[in-house]
Structure 1
Amino acid sequence: MSLVTSATEDDPSAPSLLGLARQRREPWWAFLGGLVIVALGAVLIAVLLVKLPQGLRLEAAMKRSEGLRAIVELLMMLGSVAAALLPLALAVRWLHGRPLRSLLSPLPGLDVGLALRSALLWGGLVLLTIVVSGLVDVWHGEPFAPGGQPWPQVLAFAAATGWMVVLQVTAEEALFRGYISQGLYAVTGSAWITALPVALLFAGLHTQSWGNAVWDQRALYFIISLLLSAVTARAGRLEAAIGIHLGQNLMAIYVMGVLGPPFPSLLGVGAPENKPASVEDVAEVLLTMAVIGGLYWYLGVRRGWVVRRV
């Protein structure tokens, strides 16, 4: 079965997000130019965001309130990624003559329900693994929630920053599974060949440096990227992948607390350790992702809980 199929398997002519640029015969150099625009624009916006607290005179208030500091820092961190939507929209309009929406769906309109179903299913599966892992820790006499904050504090923090998480994951998916994937597929004509370099790039940018031996994290991002590409190709649009990404980030930030202090989280596990990952660490990630990804694919795609056949 080809990876480039839509949810409407009974209609092979259904439009595909991945094949849009190939159908329009858009040149490869336009995508390279677009990436330059996105990179320069994102850097400029990130510099402006760094100066924003000073311009708004928030520095003194941030020193007095750890809660405000956490909110502002997370908004700036996520906002620097979300802001990539602006230069990306310009690149798509200037170089390709189409709107930013064409990176989300080949058809007019957005399917918010698809994104929500996907986020709920993926987030629920991740939460289930967290609970199972916590029960195993308790069985071995370890604390289940080291350093966690009270849930009202976490909910307030999530309400103040969660909207930016939505924009951040949308920007990442529009860039990786949208723009870059369309450009590569326009050249290769193969969804699998397209998905592999996108996964490598996705993992490389998320783990900051290939010099750090955090292979468990790289395995996580690489496998998630492949799943996101497969779901996007099967759905023929991007909202399902946005939902997976959103569910993952919500669980990671507000439940697991992978960003570490001072960001409030229910478990407060802390940021991933920058240490060489053992074979067992990598194997655990691969096994966990195989189980979660397999369940998502079976329930969300094969059973139609998320990607529904028409």
Structure 2
Amino acid sequence: MQYVAQEALVAPARVKSALWRLMIGLALAVVIYVAGIAALFALLVAISGWDGAQMWLVRMAEADSPTATLLVLSTFIGMGLGPLAAARLLHGRPLGSLFGARPRLLRHFAIATGICVLIYAIAALIPTGITPERNLPTGIWATFLPLALVAVLVQTGAEEVLFRGYIQTQLAARFASPMVWMLIPSVIFASLHYQPDIFGENAWMMVCAVFVFAMLAADLTAYTGTIGAAWGFHFANNCGAILIVGIEGPLSGLALYTLPEGVIAQADLGWMLAMDVTVMIIVWAVIRRVVGRVVV
């Protein structure tokens, strides 16, 4: 399969495409990510004192309240800044080359988000046999919603810039085969979602589902020449999982409803994940078809 549009993202990466630069760039990204968390902790110390900051760290580890979840999502600012710094300092790339042309990026983001909302709303009518429980009163949820949407936008944008905008394009600058530049970032992305403490024996099935998503997002990025469609796809997915129906436990603090953690860990999720992946592929196919008409 030819990905002509991706050349706009890959061409700047070819200038300094040595793999050692990518390795150091990823190390730099990790350092900046950790520095961002340290800066947040310092801010908490300044506001709440040492004991208060430690208390917030404990609450962030649980992330089962709105404010704690927002704080966790804010740590992704560092994740987003890391690849931008690496691209500029180690590869001499313009920062915009990790995103793609702005008008196209914004257009594709809006299209992908809208398609996701429509199809996922229809899919939500399919019975699953698991009944969500109310997590937050509607008034409190609505109060936090504007900040929550911005936080999820930042979180998903940071991951897209890192995995699709930076790692994928730097690998594509060195290797022609999509089996390298699509597969490697997708495997890394999926493996970071391995959570046996939440999903129990179903953890690897969840990893496989995330891997499928990552491959679809990689394809959208390569097909459109921006991270916009993949970002919109990711943003809509995470809004559903973090803000609408979350899983009881970490990152559930902003969800209107939650699914009991124990039920998710013990349930036979095979058919549910198969349905989710099927819907995900349908969404991807529709996004690809629609944005393919507005690639320019």
Into which bin does the TM-score normalised by the smaller protein fall?
Answer: 0.7 to 0.9
Partner letter of residue 21 of structure 1?
A
Are 1:246 and 2:235 matched, yes or no?
yes
Q: Please report how far the alpha carbon of residue 223 of structure 1 lies from its aligned counterpart in structure 2 after TM superposition.
A: 0.6
Higher mean C-alpha displacement, 182-191 vs 34-43: 182-191
Post-superposition shift, 1:153? 2.3
Say yes or no: does 1:289 pair with 2:288.
Answer: no
What SS is found at the alignment partner of 1:207?
coil
Rounded to whole Å, the distance in 1 between the matches of 2:38 and 2:262 is: 26
Separation in structure 1 between the aligned mates of residue 30 and residue 77 of structure 2, nearest angstrom = 13
Q: Is 1:29–2:16 an aligned residue pair?
A: no
- What is the rounded CA distance, in whole Å, between the counterparts of 2:271 and 2:232 in structure 1? 26
Partner of 2:155: 168
Provide the C-alpha distance between the structure 2 equivalents of 1:288 and 1:69, rounded to a whole number of angstroms.
Answer: 24
State the distance in 2 between where 1:110 and 1:268 align: 35
Write the letter of the residue equivalent to 2:13: A
> What amino acid is aligned across from residue 152 of structure 2 in structure 1?
V
- Once residues 132 and 197 of structure 1 are traced to their aligned partners in structure 2, the CA distance between those partners, rounded to angstroms, is 34
1:50 to 41, 45, 48: 41
Is the partner of 2:259 in helix, strand or coil? coil
The reply on whether 1:129 has 2:116 as its aligned counterpart is no
Is contact 2:13-2:93 (8 Å) kept? no
Matched, 1:76 2:71: yes
What value does the CA root-mean-square deviation take over the aligned residues? 3.2
Q: Secondary structure at the match of 1:257?
A: strand
Cα distance in 1, alignment partners of residues 293 and 155 from structure 2: 22
Tell me the residue number matched to 1:91. 86
How far residue 201 of structure 1 moved from its aligned partner, in angstroms, is 0.4
Residues 217-226 or 260-269, more deviating: 260-269
Which segments of 5 or more consecutive residues in structure 1 lack a partner in the other structure? 7-13
Corresponding position of 1:234: 223
Structure 2 residues without counterparts, runs of 5 or longer: none
Q: Distance in 1 between matches of 2:249 and 2:292?
A: 32
- Whichever residue aligns with residue 145 of structure 2, its letter is A
Asked if the contact 1:148–1:267 (Cα under 8 Å) also holds between the matched residues in 2, the reply is yes
Do the aligned partners of residues 175 and 285 (structure 1) sit closer, same or farther apart at CA in structure 2, a change above 3 Å counting?
A: same
Deviation readout 1:3-53 (Å, 9 max, x if unpaired): x233xxxxxxx844245423x352222111111110111112213323432
CA distance in 1, matches of 2:292, 2:260: 31
Q: 2: distance between equivalents of 1:173 and 1:70?
A: 26
SS at match of 1:84: helix
CA distance in 2, matches of 1:271, 1:110: 40
Q: Secondary structure at the match of 2:226?
A: coil
Identical-residue share of aligned pairs (%): 24
* 1:41 and 2:35 matched: no
Aligned with 2:106 (options 86, 105, 112):
112
Inter-partner Cα distance in structure 2 for 1:79 and 1:306: 33
Alignment of 1:62-73 (within 5 A): 70-73=65-68
1:198 alignment partner AA: P
Hey, what's the Cα distance between the residues in 2 that align with 1:86 and 1:305?
28
**Structure 1: distance between partners of 2:266 and 2:171:** 32
C-alpha distance in structure 1 between counterparts of 2:21 and 2:36, whole Å: 22
Residue type at the aligned position of 1:289: V
Q: Does 1:182 align with 2:169?
A: yes
Q: In the alignment, which of 262, 265, 285 is matched to residue 255 of structure 2?
A: 265
1:230 is displaced (CA, Å) by 0.7
User: Which structure: greater helix fraction?
Assistant: 2
Equivalent residue number for residue 201 of structure 1: 188
Residues 270 and 153 from structure 1, CA distance in 2 versus in 1: closer, same or farther, beyond 3 angstroms?
farther
SS in 1 for 2:136: coil
Pairing partner for 1:158 from 140, 145, 155: 145
- Distance, in Å, in 1 between the alignment partners of 2:148 and 2:215 is 28
**Deviation per CA, 1:118-170, whole angstroms, max 9, x where unpaired?**
1121233233322313xx53xxxx6x442343333222222232212111111
* Amino acid across the alignment from 2:226: R
2:210 to 217, 221, 227: 221
Contact residue 103 and residue 178 of structure 1 kept, 8 A: yes
Q: 1:207 to 1:306 in 2, by over 3 A?
A: farther
Structure 2 residue matching 1:284: 3-state secondary structure: helix
How many angstroms does 1:218 deviate by? 0.4
Q: Distance in 2 between matches of 1:244 and 1:209?
A: 25
User: 1:49·1:80 contact (CA, 8 Å) conserved in 2?
Assistant: yes
